Structure 1
Amino acid sequence: MRTRSYSRNAKFALAATAAIFAATSSSSQTVSDDSVPQAGLNIPEKLTIFGNNDPNVRRATALVNGDIITGTDVGHRLALIVAANGGTVSEEEKQRLRVQVLRNLIDETLQIQEAEANEINISQAEIDQTFNQVAQQNFGQDISAFDEYLRSKGSSSETLKRQIKGELAWSRLLRRNIQPFINVGEEEVNAIIERLNASKGTTEYRIGEIYMAATPETASQIAANMRQILDQIRQGGSFIAYARQFSEASTAVTGGDLGWVRPGQLPQSLAEAASQMQVGQVVGPVEVPGGFSILYLIDQRQILTADPRNAVLSLKQLSISFPEGTTEKQATARAAQFATATQNIKGCGAANEVAATIGAAVVDNDQVRLKDLPGPLQSTIADLPIGQASQPFGSVEDGVRVLILCGRDDPQTAAAPSFDQIMSQLENERVNKRARTYLRDLRRDAIIEYN
């Protein structure tokens, strides 16, 4: 059983679209409008529009039940992906991505059309509100700066607003046409609670997934496409942005995040892959029923067991910096003196006095979660007695520092999800399954013309 939650309200659209701008680049990347998709969509590389061939006229790349998708639409949406990857996508990769972007725009158009056919209309005020929230998260109150950023990347505000409209429309359509007809019995929920209690102490995973459907005829091509996506992510591309644009699971709207799942909730191939992954690792493509997946292990924990990494620490940081021109040898000698002085500290009460004698800066922080520290420091601080200092860490450029543990609040035993939370998850799973069928039927019945 696959756990894929769908967007219930505008906050999911906000989270997904905001994630696109998590990675930015100072260089401007403009996407050409005259390139056209190639593989699989039967679009000729060179085409002629019969009649007045005016270069200032927006030409249709596809007609979806009469609604136009232009090369400009494809180019602007592609530019959002390029921006999320720091502008480092190769020209060859762009051509491949254009095909997928066009497919996404066709699906988005079908979703908006179906919502309107059901008298679901997303107001411009709703779209603008979500757009402004995204802008505020990334550019403060300066909406014009956000507009300029999008233009500098070869995209536009209207492109992002259309994406927001599609997400909101599809979400509202699912809530009206599918969710009311989903039933989950109390006995199903109670059975899951019993299994959770029986599984206490076993591992569960928080997983991100990019899923793409495949048939026997298309399997090799889909797998090749996913390997290229995986390469881009490993080179620094945004997993969330790729999931948002290309995953065919309904979790695409939340950047591919499946939430916390147990191995038994996943197809066997995904469960086996997750059990062998390290936190932060991305693997794939993994073959699953109906297609392939790329997996990202966001985190892992023990079921109904307190995670020691959730301990809240009270820390005091002592740091020294090196003057410009300091050699490695000089820095090593100074760091050794710093280490000797700090290792002799007896409790946090003496830290400020010691810092003053060695010319160190002091910073206090009483609300640091252990899991928020860099990986190499977590194991060191986890085993550190209260009142003692860590080993020095840093560099010539950034200076050297130590952390003194002044206090620790250990996490309480993790509570099981509530009855309502489990019921909601089951409902979401069933809505997602029907939503995929719904969209498949829309594709099948649509009249789509390619130019």
Structure 2
Amino acid sequence: MTLAPTRSLLAIALAGLLFAAGAHAQSYAGTAPVDRIAAVVNEDVILRSELDRAVANIRAQYAGKEAQLPPQDVLERQVLERLVLMRLQLARATDSGITASDEDLERAVQGVAEQNGMSVDQLRARISQDGMSFTEFRNNLRDEIVTQKLRQSFAQGRINVSEAEVDSAMTAAAASISQQFRLAHILVGTPDGASAEQLATAQKKIEGVKGLIDKGEMSFAAAAVRYSDSPNALEGGDLGWRGLNEIPPAFAQTIQQMQPGQVIGPIRGASGFQLLQLVETRSQAAGGGEQVTQFSARQILVKVDDTTDDAAAKAEAETLAARIAGGADFAKLASESSDDDATKRRGGDLGWFGADTYGNAFGMQVAALSDGQTSAPFKTDAGWVLVQRTSSRQVMAGSDSLRAQVRETIGRRKLEDEWNRWTREMRGEAFVDVRGLDGAAANPATGG
């Protein structure tokens, strides 16, 4: 089981968005010569100019630390793989009818500005200084929103957290100090159905990387940048802070016994072989001032009943979603069209609630949104739902709120594992033909 980083859309650093400058083909088709192709991805292409721009942005992020970067050919491979995965996710979102409205985009731009302590005008000036047009920035941000919505849609019906799992996690939390662990990893990937020779080659590589780290010839972060096949390689393999509920059980017990700086592995998982480092820890007495997240949101419900079958309810929900994307007021539509009599008179307002107040699936949808963002239509036991998150807040945890928070973190970890598996399958099934510097095929196409 492979650990992977989690991200919040509005917490994306400017550097990360600048990397995405290569991710939007349409932006470059009109401004750069279509002279060479870096890769063919199914029926789409990634231009060499896009790849060069994305690599240049990574090098700018590592200004003064260039020695930490891998050789140029390895760096290009890592960056190109990111662009391929972005293309595949955007294509899947398009096929599923997932889009980002102008309203979504404006809220996201405002959120990025606030996260970086700027006004929108200051953000625009900063982006210009960094050599990117504001149009390109918005296009990249739109892609990020779409992939976030794709992830929300993916979660529907796939993730279930049992009461027994929550009980076990609550018991563990009550019996110990609440700890958090900052982790990093290095992944040497293997394909699905890898041969014995491929497994042996990958294992030899990961053991060689560990040898460099153990001998002090290279830091863990530098080795991740140079050798890891994980999407977060260029961030030094950083996985961020995790509670025990957010760490796969296979690792959790071992990590609790480790000291900061220690490395475990190689560990073989579904994605390949990995090394895992405990970077640092922090702790807090269980129940001592812990906070949980509550949300405020509005909903529109289209019931599935004797007069409206599932297909008709879904179609109506999609029509309402299109009207909202076109600028219609959510509260007004809820008052006119929602089948939930308890909330329609309040414009669909649900008030403040915890992540599991209305069920795990509903809570995960709301948690995945940004404040002010509207979900795509999703299915519940009552019918098809649109939800608009209006606000969020941190409150002191009571037992019910803490239980909801525990359920949310377990669900987030499960979603992470399923999402990683799904993206690996999508990549493996894709037709990806990487080209050489002259635009000619450099290696056989992979996938379907």
- TM value normalised by structure 1: 0.53
CA contact (8 A) 2:183 2:277 kept: yes
Decide whether aligned partners of structure 1 residues 128 and 212 sit closer, same or farther in structure 2, where only a CA change above 3 A counts: farther
Q: Which of 432, 446, 449 is the matching residue for 2:416?
A: 432
**2:161 alignment counterpart:** 184
Q: Deviations over 1:179-224 (max 9, x none)?
A: 33322222321232123223x24x7332233453523233444676
Corresponding position of 1:109: 87
For 1:94 and 1:139, how far apart are their aligned partners in 2?
Answer: 34
Structure 2 Cα separation of the partners of residues 437 and 275 of structure 1: 28
CA contact (8 A) 1:150 1:157 kept: no
Equivalent residue pairs, number: 296
Q: Is the 8 A contact 1:14 1:134 kept in 2?
A: yes
Write the mapping of 1:3-18 to structure 2, written as runs, cut at 5 A.
6=6, 12-18=8-14
Q: Percent identity?
A: 17
Provide the C-alpha distance between the structure 1 equivalents of 2:126 and 2:403, rounded to a whole number of angstroms. Answer: 42
Residue 77 of structure 2 corresponds to: 99
Counterparts of 1:161 and 1:224, CA distance in 2: 42
Describe the SS at the equivalent of 2:13.
helix
Partner in structure 1 of residue 244 of structure 2: 261
1:116 deviates by 0.8
Letter in 1 for 2:96: N
CA separation of 1:431 and 1:177: change in aligned 2, threshold 3 A: same
The CA RMSD over aligned residues, in Å, is 4.5
Q: 1:102 to 1:413 in 2, by over 3 A?
A: closer
The residue number in structure 2 matching 1:63 is 40
Q: Which residue of 2 aligns with 1:146?
A: 126
- Residue of structure 1 in register with 2:281 after alignment: 299
Query: Which deviations, in whole Å up to 9, do the C-alpha atoms of 1:126-166 show, x marking residues without a partner?
Result: 34543454355447332342223321xxx665665555344
SS at match of 1:181: coil
Question: Which whole-Å deviations, capped at 9, do the CAs of 1:288-343 have from their partners, x for residues lacking one?
Answer: 53321453524321561759xxxxxxxxxxxxxxxxxxxxxxxxxxxxxxxxxxxx
Change (3 A) 1:297 1:88: closer
Amino acid at match of 1:256: L
* Equivalent-residue separation in structure 2 for 1:218 and 1:139 (angstroms): 44
Amino acid at match of 1:207: R
Counterpart of 1:62, as a letter, is A
Unmatched 5+ stretches in structure 2: 22-31, 191-198, 290-395, 436-448
Return the alpha-carbon distance in structure 2 between the equivalents of residues 438 and 256 of structure 1. Answer: 19
Partners of 1:231 and 1:127 lie apart in 2 by 41
C-alpha distance in 2 between matches for 1:16 and 1:282: 28
Residue 267 of structure 2 is matched in structure 1 by 287
Q: Tell me which residue corresponds to 1:449.
A: 433
Does structure 2 conserve the Cα–Cα contact (< 8 Å) formed by 1:62 and 1:70? yes
The alpha carbon displacement at 1:424 in A equals 1.2
Q: Secondary structure at the match of 2:99?
A: coil
* Compared CA separation, residues 185 and 138, structure 1 to 2 (3 A): closer
Q: TM-score, normalised by structure 2?
A: 0.53
SS of match in other structure, 1:256 = strand
Distance verdict in 2 for CA 1:182–1:65, change over 3 Å: same
Gaps of 5+ in 1: 25-30, 32-54, 308-411
8 A contact 1:211–1:292 mirrored in 2: yes
Asked which structure has the greater CA Rg, the reply is 1
